[in-house]
Amino acid sequence: MRTVMVNTTPGYPVLIGNGILQELVGEYKKKFYPRIPIVVSNQKVFDLWGEELVPVLRQVGWKRGYLIIVPDSEEAKSLPVFADVIKRVADLDKDRKSVLIVAFGGGVVGDLAGFVAGTYRRGVPIVQIPTTLLSQIDSSIGGKTAVNLPSGKNIVGVYHQPALVLIDVRFLSTLDIKQMREGLSEGIKYGIIRSPDLFTYLEKVEGMSFDWEWFVEECVKIKARVVSEDERERKGLRFILNLGHTIGHALEIESNHRFSHGQAVALGMVAAGYISLIKGIGSEKTLSRIEGVIDKFGLPKRLGYNVNEDRFWNALVRDKKFSGGRFRFVLPRRIGSVLVSDDVEEREIRSSLDFIRGGI
């Protein structure tokens, strides 16, 4: 088993391994006893892996009545679902004993459960047990929790760090190729922002023959370092984790989620690479390498359709990364090094949109 510490306030361990669910028992006895574990999951994940988790939970006093199933879609990250879940938590916590939230699922479950944990009784502990590659290497770590509004993603939320993240790479065995690509998009991002070695590994690995424990650990180390140095994004460093997300989020909304999050971020990274090139910050070689590894793993590097520009711009200016009339971008200088810039002009964004549309 591998352990990565996230040095926030308070800090917490990320445990990584194959077949490590049993570790939850010891961690519970050390840190959480006698809290009542309440599991938030979705039906698909619980049907696949519930039989593995239930015997472990029973060792810490869990009963099946303390299971809350939420929709298996982005719909779960909504205010109505949040209100329903937090009411059910309160109902289960009848005598006001302290509770422990256990998020068992992908990023949607983790974001929703984290927001519930951060707001119920002004904050209760949460254990993240992420089951997708995307949530294992990204969303389960860092304490960002939120739900969506019709006007945009992650608009309502709080920072609430988990007390423990337990990553069992066995869960990856039931993911389809589309779900794996979602996670790899974020892995590519980590290589671009902080790790030439990780990026080179992605360029050289054959197919999907990954050393998953090593790969997950490397990604987690990068996320943990950035989050530890800038927990609440007050220093500007944590913003580098948004590479590809400025245009990516706008494309998700513009396309009515025709593109998944990972696909949209991949397109956003290509667009950011192109903006970096035309501003003289990056190089053609860097852009070519980014496009090459995105293409290698079946992620889109071109749109393949004509964007509704009014809808795109409306989404872009509603994004949290648009402030004071300026767009904030993470721009690659070279593999392993990026620049945060508030000096990206509208014409440069339009040019990058033409580029990923295939018009340049």
Distances (CA, A) of 146 to 46, 82, 149: 22, 10, 10
Q: Which of 35, 144, 189, 328 is catalytic?
A: 144
* Coarse DSSP helix, strand, coil percentages of the chain, rounded to the nearest 5 percent: 50, 20, 30
Residue among 30, 94, 122, 347 flagged as catalytic: 122
Rounded Cα distance, 325 and 276, in Å = 20
- Catalytic-residue membership of 153: no
Of 186, 218, 231, 252, catalytic: 186
> Could you say which of 153, 249, 289, 321 is catalytic?
249
H/E run at residue 41: strand 36-42
Cα separations (Å) of 47 from 44, 52, 64, 168, 174? 5, 10, 13, 17, 11
Q: Is 223 a catalytic residue?
A: yes
Closest-CA residue to 340 (of 325, 321, 312): 321
333 in catalytic set: no
CB atoms within 10 A of CB 116: 27
- What gap in Å lies between CA 197 and CA 181, rounded to an integer? 20
Catalytic residue among 153, 221, 261, 301: 261
Confirm whether 97 is a catalytic residue.
no
Our answer to whether residue 279 is catalytic in this structure is: no
Number of Cβ within 10 Å of residue 291's Cβ equals 18
Q: Is 249 a catalytic residue?
A: yes
308 is a catalytic site residue = no
27 is catalytic: no
Residue 271 · residue 352 · CB < 8 Å: yes
Query: Of the listed 238, 289, 301, 321, which one is catalytic?
Result: 238
- Among 77, 245, 289, 301, the active-site one is 245
Sheet order of strands, 337-344 included: 322-323, 326-334, 337-344
Q: Are 331 and 318 in contact (CB under 8 A)?
A: no
For 287, counting Cβ atoms within 10 Å of its Cβ (0-12 exposed, 13-18 middle, 19+ buried), the class is buried
Here the tokens at position 197 are 């070695």
For the question of residue 261 being annotated catalytic, the response is: yes
242 in catalytic set:
yes
Q: Catalytic residue numbers?
A: 122, 144, 186, 223, 233, 238, 242, 245, 249, 261
